[in-house]
Structure 1
Amino acid sequence: MSELQSALDALVAEDLHGLTDGAVLDRTALLVQVVNRASAELTRTVRHAELTQTCEHDGLKSMRSWLIGHARLSQTEASRVVRSGRVLEHFPALAAGFAQGEITAAQVNVVAEKIGAGEVARAEEQGIDLTAFDQVWARVATESPHESLAAAVQAFENALDPDGPEPDPTEGRRLTIVKHADGSISLRADLDVVGGEKVQAAIESIVQADRPKGDERTRAQQNADGLVQLCENQLASGNLPVLRTVKPHVVVGVDLEDLVDPATGPGAGEMGFGATISAARARYLACDGSISRIVMGPDGTPLDLGRDHRVVTPGLRKAVERRDKSCVFAGCGAPSWWCDVHHLIHWLHGGETSLQNSALLCERHHTKVHHGFRVERDPGGRWRTYRPDDTEILIGALPH
């Protein structure tokens, strides 16, 4: 890497006015090739990082998030890099041309925008020769104008679906939910091809975005975690239909003594549908929730029902959103409507419910902070993020 940096420094120092016209054009062509090769290497590296979930080192869930937060790429550009890395695994000729600098990142994106894992799977099911398309695309990309590649990719899409769209077969959809005595549930679903594809695509996107090192979960466990995360995202979005005058939400009942006890307290909280959770998990949910006081009699009868009290008032939340604007965890930047207001010192332990003791954190990083990571606001108003080993996560730090 140091040699690469030195070569770039030498290029910058070169006096362009001392070059002939032909030399300037040769230099331009060479730089295009260098940029292509560097883009290919970036794409390869990002794909490796995605597969090994390297971004977890900085507390982020995906390489797209890391590229946006740490490398300051736009959302569109970050998506392009990640998407290209995924598709090139299926098209070695295209990948080779990219690595050699003969194919541009934009050309690779022409393929990646249209061809994903679903299209590749469908092609294999239909016996379509991916190798032939790969070789044609590589040749078109290196020999023809940029626009010609789009037409070649369209030929692939036409081969996938020569008969056009099918009718909507949705009558056979069934979903049965069976709740057990401990509050856990079992699901049984029957879905048509279209509905099943949608469910698989949604869950697969979450599964593929969360592949940490040393993951020993079975595929069934990964799918279940993906389904729960999908529902969690929807609940957090606030866009689900209103249910009996209120938005659907998670309900936890826990004794005050268990809630304030610093011990974990397994089985201390009861969920709205009957399951139990630990006191530690209940404290996490209480960080930015709505608290209702219920005084119980000795026979378990409610004697007094206090009104709901929001730990974080709407006015305070507006002030925190105005100050922080997005998740303050280093490299994240998730919008405010994805975020909770986190108490830097939990209100259960005497922390004030105030602007100075509050931080805007997305759901993922709120959990991270409750499990070892730490955010602090320095006297200058800058947020700093620390790993569990107290090393700081720095944005844009150059490698040494």
Structure 2
Amino acid sequence: MELVDALLAIAGELADRDAPDSPAACMQLAESLAKAVDQQESALADLIGRVDVSGETRRWGLPSTQAWLRSRLGMRESRARERVTLARQRHRLPQVTKLLAAGELTYGYASTVAESVARLDDVDCAKAETLLLEMVDQGFSAGKVASFGRRIRDVIAEREGTETPDDDAQRGYEQSWITTTRSLDGGRYVKGWLNAEDAAIWDGTLAPLAKPAGPDDQRDLPERTAAALTSVLSGGQKATKVTVICDLDTLTGGDTPGRLTDGTPIPAEQARRIALSAGVSPLILGRGHVPLYLGHRQRFATAGQRQTLETLYPTCAVQGCEVPGILCEVDHVNGWTLGRSPTDIDQLALCCGWHNRFKHANAEQMRITRDSTGRYVYRILPPPTRTAPPTDYPQAA
């Protein structure tokens, strides 16, 4: 801990200082500093590895090591997964571990090798480590090393007779399938395959709607097809089940943006456009249009209550949990079975399945408050007793 404190003090002093005026000096300092950062990554991987094999994160209300890295260390999903992989593979990569700790191998190369051997057995892992480090010595980039690592897995699969076709080919051509991937701006990429029967339905339904609207229609066929598809999905002029949260001022001409239940912002103009063909249901936190107060007559929340909760909770009520509210369970804040929490909207919150079970099994670690908007916020306290770290270091599977 003394060394960590000293490192924090030094890092703080460096962060407060301005960079030198000389670009050449900056390059030299940056390379030296990066080497030090790589060595810190070695120490961090050792710490993460011990936490990972012990299961300590679960005592702190975190379902996995990656969740701990995301919520407590502020890492992106990809970086958290990368660090966990390196921590779990260190004991199988003695050369990589030694070189990283000595500052003779960068973290980028070390994590690339760890990812490449993660699904290899111990014998093949040792051979792959030697081959990949030889590529590093020859000056290949981390991207090239990663490509070669994937090729090693393919060769081993061919040797063992376990090679598998890509996901699309595995599905075959008898069944239709569609996959979607969300983009950063809230849109979706769509990819799929339709068998002959479903393709006929597609053509018969969309082809008439995808025709040009007139001589001035400048859209190409893909644009018209997308418009036809959304028209069919929305049922034409029928109201769709899309929940948009916005102020009354927005609907009457204001500029305040609305948002979807997952937090995606919606421009005010678009929110008004959606409202033109959709039913407007006011959010009423009391007795009124939708029965939101059910007392103890009913244990399970109604669809109306859930829709209200989804507008209030974009994510799980547990602070730092990123599970979307639409995937969460309705939780009785004070426990329905104990008779202290009726099925009333102001006694309910959304909580992911893992944290819902943790809350009821570890009630003493859960502090529940309400923020300025009236939403419940669950904060997980440290475990009541802290156990000493394990004296041995079991190898991760």
TM-score normalized by the length of structure 1: 0.54
1:318 is aligned to 2:316: no
* Counterparts of 2:382 and 2:150, CA distance in 1: 49
Q: Which residue identity does 1:356 align to in structure 2?
A: D
Contiguous gaps of at least 5 residues in structure 2: 165-293, 386-397
Superposition deviation, residue 111 in structure 1: 2.6
> Size of the alignment, in residue pairs?
246
- In structure 1, how many angstroms separate the alpha carbons of the residues matched to 2:30 and 2:314? 42
In structure 2, the residue corresponding to 1:385 is in which secondary structure?
Answer: strand
Q: Secondary structure at the match of 2:20?
A: helix
Q: Quick one: which of 130, 152, 158 aligns to 1:156? A: 152
- Cα distance change on mapping 1:390 and 1:167 into 2, 3 Å: closer
1:91 aligns with 2:93: yes
Structure 1: 5+ residue stretches without partners: 169-290, 292-307, 392-400
Q: Which amino acid aligns with 1:120?
A: D
Structure 2 letter corresponding to 1:347: W
- 1:371 counterpart = 2:366: no
Distance 2:84 2:126 in 1: 22
**Contact 1:64-1:79 within 8 A present in 2 as well:** yes
Secondary structure class of the residue paired with 1:10: helix
1:72 aligned counterpart, secondary structure: coil
The root-mean-square deviation of aligned C-alpha atoms, in Å, is 3.1
- Which residue does 1:110 correspond to in 2? 112
Distance between the aligned counterparts of 2:129 and 2:354, measured in 1?
38
Change (3 A) 1:17 1:162: same
Q: CA deviation at 1:335?
A: 2.4
- Which residue is equivalent to 2:54? 52
Alignment of 1:25-104 (within 5 A): 25-104=27-106
The Cα of 1:167 is off from its aligned counterpart by 9.1
Distance in 1, matches of 2:148 and 2:344, equals 59
User: Partners of 2:83 and 2:367 in 1: how far apart?
Assistant: 29
The amino acid that maps onto 2:95 is: A
Corresponding residue for 1:8?
11
- Please state if 1:347 is matched with 2:336: yes
Q: Which residue of 2 aligns with 1:287?
A: none
> 1:94 touches 1:137 (CA, 8 Å); kept in 2?
no
Instruction: Trace 1:86-235 onto structure 2 (pairs within 5 A).
Output: 86-116=88-118, 118-120=119-121, 124=123, 128=124, 130-146=125-141, 147-154=143-150, 156-163=152-159, 165=161
What are the Cα deviations for residues 109-158 of structure 1, in whole angstroms up to 9, with x where unaligned? 32333322x4225xx3xxx4x43432332343355131442354245325
Alignment counterpart, residue 347 of structure 2, candidates 357, 370, 373: 357
1:354 & 1:94 partners in 2: Cα distance?
57
Superposed CA offset, 1:181-234 (max 9, x none)? xxxxxxxxxxxxxxxxxxxxxxxxxxxxxxxxxxxxxxxxxxxxxxxxxxxxxx
Cα offset, 1:43, TM superposition: 1.9
How far is the alpha carbon of 1:375 from its aligned partner? 4.4
Separation (CA, whole Å) in 2 of partners of 1:384 and 1:90: 39
Q: In the superposition, relative to structure 1, how do residues 54 and 328 fare at CA in structure 2: closer, same or farther (>3 Å)?
A: same
Change in 2 beyond 3 A, CA 1:366/1:167: closer
